[in-house]
Amino acid sequence: MYDPSVVSYSRLLELFWERLGDSRHLLNQVGNDRGTQYRHGIYWLTEGQKEEAEASMAAAKELALVQAGKTIYTECKASETFYDAEEYHQQYLQKGGQSAKKQASETIRCYG
């Protein structure tokens, strides 16, 4: 659960863009994973978050257009009902002894 006393929404937006990387230019895709279940988005709960999200999106779009002439396909909309994944899907890689850290160099193994 999001706790604003731990991290600000603004910081979450910064981390979002940093971690999403070039996938922001791909429609319904993150890395090699494709399909609508892999769409990326920014979702807000409050009017304040909406303003921050829209400002962040506008800045990212402008930067992408100026620097690379590219479009951003990230959706930006109000949060809807959220359903937690089944327990066996949560922390999937960690449970299998793998790392999902950005600098991890090991090959991700698929199992199931």
Check residue 110 and give its pLDDT. 65
Can you read off the two tokens belonging to residue 12? 């979450």
Could you list the pLDDT tens digit for every one of the 112 residues in the chain? 789 999 999 999 999 999 999 999 999 999 888 999 999 999 999 999 999 999 999 999 999 999 989 999 999 999 998 888 888 777 777 777 777 676 777 766 665 5
Whole-model pTM: value is: 0.75
* DSSP H stretches of helix in the chain: 9-20, 47-68, 92-95
Nearest 5°: the CA angle 46, 22, 112 is 85
Q: 105: which strand partners?
A: none
Q: Tell me the CB-side half-sphere exposure of residue 40, using CA atoms within 13 A.
A: 21
